[in-house]
Amino acid sequence: MDMHEQLALLQERAMSDKALCEELLKTRQDKYPMHAFCEVCSRLGYDKITVGELFSAGDAFCSAMLRSVNGGGVEAPDGWNDFYEMFFDAIEGK
Compute the C-alpha angle 55/57/61, nearest 5°.
120
Tens digit of each residue's pLDDT (9 = 90 or more) over 10-61: 999 999 999 999 999 999 999 999 999 999 999 999 999 999 998 887 666 6
Distance separating alpha carbons of residues 78 and 63, to the nearest angstrom = 13
Q: In this model, does residue 9 exceed pLDDT 80?
A: yes
Model pLDDT, residue 31? 97
Higher pLDDT, 92 or 55: 92
**What does the pLDDT read at residue 24?**
98
Q: What is the pLDDT of residue 7?
A: 93
